[in-house]
Structures are given as C-alpha cells and as structure tokens.
Amino acid sequence: MGNNSDRRDITVETRELLALLGVDDTASNGTDSKVMSPVTGDVIGVVDTTSDAQVQEIIAKAHGAFLTWRNVPAPKRGELVRLLGEELRTHKETLGRLVSIEVGKTISEGQGEVQEMIDICDFAVGLSRQLHGFTIASERKQHRMMETWHPLGVVGVISAFNFPVAVWAWNSALAFVCGDSVVWKPSEKAPLSALACQALFLKAANTFGSAPAALSSLLMGGATVGEALVTNPTVPLVSATGSTAMGRKVAPLIAQRFGSAILELGGNNAGIVCPSADQEMTLQAVAFGAMGTAGQRCTTMRRLFVHKDIYDTFVPRLKKAYQVVSVGNPLTSNALVGPLIDKDAFDMMTNALKEATLLGGVVTGGQRVETDNQDTWYVRPALVEMATHDGIVLEETFAPILYVMKYSELDEAIAMHNAVAAGLSSSIFTKDIQEAELFLASSGSDCGIANVNIGTSGAEIGGAFGGNKDTGGGRESGSTVWKSYMRRATNTINYSNDIPLAQGVTFEI
C-alpha cells in the first residue's frame, strides 16, 4: 500500500486540485509549515504562518468589511451565500478529494463533508428572509414593544482537522447572511482545504459583484495565531472547535474581554443496546459510528452498553465486523477505514489500549497496519470488552476505540452513560417506546444530541449541533443557532402624548 510512485503522484495531484479550485500556486508553496498527507505520509504543500501584525491587520480589515456588509439587506446577503453554494456544487468532487488527501477521509466521507457545506448554504439562503424577532405586548397604553436582531461584527472561526471545511461553512454561511464578516484560522494540519474554500468564496463574491473586500479572511498557524484571534476585542464572537483542553484555554481569554463563544469540544459518546433492538440495524449503526473516519469524529461512538440478555449474541457479531473491516489507502482502495491523522493520534490510541488492558479489558483489533512509509499511521479499529466502567473508559481518546460493557437495567445503563465529563452525542437502540422516551426525557441522556435507532454520528444541518458539560455548551448549524451571530435589541415605541412609566411608577416635574 502506498508505493513511491503513489507518493509522488499525490503531491502532483494536490497541486492540480488546488489549481482547479482557484488557489494561487504561491499560497501552498510557502516556507514555514509543511503539510503532510496522512494517506501516504508525504509533504503535499507548505504554507506561511500569519504574523501577529498581519493578524491584527486582517481583523481590522474584516471589521471594515462588516461596517459595510451590515447595511446590505439580508435577502441580498443570502444571494452571496447562494452563489457560494453553487460554487461548492460545481467543485464538490474536487474539493471532496482534496479533503480526503489532506486528512485521510474515504472518498464518500470527503464528498459528504462538502455536501454538508452545500446543505448549510441552502439553509442559510432561506434563513436570510427569516431573521425576525417578536412583537411584545406592552403594559403601557399606546406603546409598542418589539425585538430586533442586528448584525454582530467579526466572527472568528477556529476549526479542527477532522472536519476541515464543513465547520467553516456551518459558521460562515450563517454569519454572512446575518451581516457579519468572518476570520478563519483552520487547523494547522489542514490548511490547504481552507485555501480552497477561500478561493471558492472569492469566486462567489466576484460573481456577486458588491461584496466588500475582507468579508472572508484566513489566518494560518497554530496556537499562537489562535490566541491572537481570540484576544482581539474587535472580534465579538469566536466559534472554536477542538479538544476540551483547547476550550479550557480559549474560553477564559474570550470571557476576560466579555466576548461570546461557541465552543464545540470533546465527546465521549455512547450507545445503549436494549433487548428489543433490531440487531442487524444496530450492528450497522454501531460499526459506522465507532469506526467511521477512523474514529476521528467528535461524535464517534466510544462506549457501548449492551443488555446482558443479548450480549452473547450481539457482541460476537460486532467483533467479527471489527476483524473483517477493510483498512487502507482511501484514495486507491474501497477501504472503509483510512489512516489516523498522525503519530500523536497513534500513540494516544496505543496508550489507551494499554490502560484498558491493565483494567482487565479484552482487546479485539488495535494493531498497526504497516505500509512502506513509516510516516503513515493506519490501525485496525479496536473493540475492548470491559468489566467495569472506569479509568480510561471515562476519557475521550480521539481514535477508533469502542469500549463495550454489559448492563442489566436501563436506569443503570443511563447512569453509566451520563457518568463522563463530556455530553455531545448519544444513542439508544430499542423497539420499546417506553425505553426510547425514558432515554429522551430529562432524566435520560444528558447530551446535546440524543438519538433513537440511529448512531451517534451523522448529524443533519437542520438541527442545532453541539453538546453540554465539557463539550462546551456551544451550538452550530441549524435550528435557532443564527441568533448567536447577531445582537438583540428590545425596542419600545411610544405613540401617545404622555410618558407613562412601567410598573406604575410616578415621577412628575
């Protein structure tokens, strides 16, 4: 897997894809930071880090763009997002393949991520005519109260490697229709996909004809660049996706200046398999939820509670799936599982499996799959049967590890389900309506996403995406999330000839 010819070709192909997407050749041929494809382990580009002075200048220009863009009628702002969606439709296959090359996703998952971008653009276009508030009954005669929503300002976006383009779109499509400008710092592990998105946006803006310059901007670099973004007082909202550790650093910096944050952090997601579950359907859902994207989704299923009455029939079938699932180069094979992003991810997985074994865990899979390049990190997904819900099981490891445990009563399973720090996504598999409703009730799953008879991953853009507890509390994408990108004003209009005070207060001069 991955001979020398393949590795030379992937670098050439990356340059060709970037050119097709409209990226200037100089942008991916810098001198600072090498970009390595996890598929072959080879360098596919080099980008320059944005200096602190450049960060401040870019943000200042983005603020200037906001001052113009906020006065453009919202439906017209929606037209720009519609044009962006059209560019994404035209370049879906090209951008999707670039994503697969840069972060190791299978071809269908790379394409699926671009489809998410298209979907959120469609959602945002419709939303551009629905940014409405309420009319509120006033207690005072001949007074009208109403709620108005206004553009907020510069929106900072910090995204992670595992969804290198969709997260930007979730935030940007909404921000643009809400009247905001966007400054994006992508993961330093996936800057080329960000360059492509920026190029497609500029194509859409050129067709639109009157979008202000610097409405969308890029920052390249690591934590230092991110810190410069989140501490800038001209950025009223920062949407940051990453680890809980990252969130603990970012949140205080934003709070210190009374900024707002949308935090999408860790997720130690779990599923519960009840005795009445359709085992065939459940097997498919669990397998994708736990092994898809090589376990590198924030919504990956990491824990599974199986009822004792079906454990001995269901778990062996699941173990078989782990033993036969195909692992390999997603560009040259039909493998369902691609590579881990880098050696750090592999080391974390290895250490977690060692800790689980010390706690009595029985591991199926987890071995490294060798290639002819020692800089690639392909692994077989690991299923670990645990006797106790403790130790490393309570921690998120961003790798394809599924801890499986037995339960007797649903209340017991829900208690274990909720006994972790994060609260992102969750699932129950059952045909019993009482079990399903208990799981969705206030005493059930404590996650921001709670599903019945589907897995933990694969959220649609129409719903609010995000979680509770150590997941950060943020929400992105659909529902009423647009309100996070705007500021609210309560207006009272007096059309009488008097000045009656609220609450019956009197004050006469």
Please give the structure tokens belonging to residue 412. 């017991």
The rounded percent of the chain whose pLDDT value lies above 70 is 98
Q: Mean per-residue pLDDT for 29-47?
A: 95
Closest residue by Cα to residue 131 from 181, 169, 75, 215: 75
- Tell me the pLDDT of the chain averaged across its residues: 96
Quick one: pLDDT band at residue 6, thresholds 50, 70, 90?
A: low
Q: What is the mean pLDDT of residues 248-269?
A: 97
For range 202-230, the mean pLDDT: 97
pLDDT tens digits, 147-199: 999 999 999 999 999 999 999 999 999 999 999 999 999 999 999 999 999 99
Beta strand ranges found along 62-140 (DSSP E): 135-136
pLDDT band at 1 (very low <50, low <70, confident <90, very high): very low
**pLDDT reported for residue 276:** 97
Confidence of residue 4 (pLDDT cuts 50, 70, 90): very low
Distance of CA 268 to the CA centre of its chain: 15
Verdict on whether the full-model pTM lies above 0.85: yes
Round to the nearest angstrom and report the end-to-end CA distance of the chain: 88
Instruction: Summarize the confidence of residues 121-132 as an average pLDDT.
Output: 97
Positions marked catalytic = 264, 298
Query: Strands 260-264 and 181-185, how do they pair?
Result: unpaired
Q: Which residues contact 389 (CB under 8 A, 6 or more apart)?
A: 303, 405, 416, 419
Pick from 207, 152, 220, 210: which is nearest to 181 by CA? 152
Q: How confident is the model at residue 67 (pLDDT cuts 50, 70, 90)?
A: very high
Taking only the tens place, the pLDDT of each residue in 78-106 is 999 999 999 999 999 999 999 999 999 99
Alpha-carbon gap, residue 474 to 485, rounded angstroms:
12
Q: What is the identity of the amino acid at 244?
A: T
